Amino acid sequence: MLLNLRIWLDKNTYDAGETAKGTLLIKSNSSIKVRKLNFSVRGKERYLEETRSNKRGVVGGLGRSTETEKYDTFFFEDLSPFLKLTSSISYVDDRIEIPRGSTALPFHFSIPHNALESYRGKHARIAYEVEILADLGRWKGGYHYTLIFEVTNPRMTYTFGDSLYLDKEKEKKEGEPPLHMELETKNDTSDIPRFSPGEIMRGRLIIKNGGIQRIRKVIIQLNTVEHLKWRPSRIISQNIKEEIKYDKNKDMDTIAFGIQIPKRAKRSYSAKYSEYYWLLETHVDISNNPVFHAKKVVQIA
């Protein structure tokens, strides 16, 4: 191979606000000149853009729609200045000359304090990469190398943006007996309840205006929601399910519960085209009554 490009970082995962250090290796079998040598780091969000064909089908309908993969860059830093710190690479007219042999270039960059945490879902992606691209010209093509790394951020701010889903859920509950949910949280009660990975989420369910009820069974579910803003649609996955059964129907109007959040729980995030959050869902089975439901959006941070 005429030109070989490689990138290494000192580790695979970084916290927001941390400085990453790495090495770029440029190896060539002979001295070559390139038109461009782009070196950068970026954070990007994947989404799908729908396009419709103007052609009509055989039955007179509009043509098919297709989805094209797109990326929105929310973090970018040009690392090209590090290329000028070595005397091995020279700039002649409008060309960059790479000598024969190997050239190792150290570099570094800082992860933003407000960086989104890395995420890989069914459709949504939050990804970070360091990339080197060499353009050899029209006839010789180009060479490139990309290194993916992970970012974590326990201080990531989250703003709930899927109000349409909750509005629809409220419409479904119209006419049902009211079931009120209270959670023990450390943050302001006006905010979305916030918990940490590994924490036990504690709360209680209150059957309002119903008096004492004969409870047969209580189901507590903690689900994850991948909300795709570009469609809009959502992918709901059951993460944890706990069931409380009573040997004999128990008379009560308040039900205390606790559910363990996984230690490796993915943190909630809200980006331009996608959102990820947790949904606490409860079902109370009462003798001679319909099942009572209550849902609440919670933040894992």
Statement to judge: residues 37 and 137 lie in one domain: yes
Q: 129 and 10, same structural domain?
A: yes
Could you tell me if residue 158 is inside a domain? no
E runs forming strands in 29-64: 32-34, 36-52
Does residue 206 share a domain with residue 139? no
274 and 200 share one domain: yes
Residue 176: give the domain boundaries: 163-300
In whole angstroms, give the CA distance from residue 142 to residue 281: 52
How many domains, in total, are found in the chain?
2
Q: According to the model, what pLDDT value does residue 171 have?
A: 60
3-state DSSP helix/strand/coil % of the chain, to nearest 5: 5, 60, 35
For residue 102, the domain's CATH number is: 2.60.40.640
206 and 112 together in one domain: no
How high is the pLDDT of residue 40? 97
Of 131, 152, 173, the domain-final residue: 152
Residue-wise DSSP of 119-160: EE-SS-EEEEEEEEEEE--TTT-EEEEEEEEEEE-TT-----
Task: Note whether 265 and 204 are same-domain residues.
Answer: yes
Last residue of a domain, one of 133, 152, 171: 152
HSE-CB for 33 with a 13 A CA cutoff: 7
Q: What is the pTM of this model?
A: 0.83
Look up residue 180 and give its two tokens. Answer: 């009120």
User: Are 284 and 174 in the same domain?
Assistant: yes
pLDDT in tens, the chain (301 residues): 578 899 999 999 999 999 999 999 999 888 888 888 899 999 999 998 877 766 655 455 556 778 888 999 999 999 999 988 887 888 777 788 888 888 899 999 999 999 999 999 999 999 999 999 988 776 566 788 999 999 999 888 888 888 777 667 666 655 555 778 888 887 655 578 899 999 999 998 887 765 666 788 889 999 999 999 888 788 998 778 888 776 655 666 788 888 999 999 999 999 999 999 999 998 888 777 777 888 889 999 8
7 in Cβ contact with 130 (< 8 Å):
yes
Instruction: Please check whether residue 25 lies inside any domain of the structure.
Output: yes
Same domain, 215 and 75: no
Which 8-state DSSP code applies to residue 10? S
Q: Residue 280 has what pLDDT?
A: 92
Question: Of 102, 120, 152, which one is at a domain's C-terminal end?
Answer: 152
Contact between residue 200 and residue 258 where contact means Cβ atoms under 8 Å apart:
yes
Beta-carbon contacts of residue 115 (< 8 Å; ≥ 6 apart): 16, 17, 43, 75, 151, 153, 156
Question: Helix (H, G, I), strand (E, B), or coil: what is residue 169?
Answer: helix
DSSP string, 62-103: B--EEEEEEEEEEEEEE-GGGGGG-SSSEEETTEEEE-SEEE
Q: How far apart are the first and last CA of the chain?
A: 46
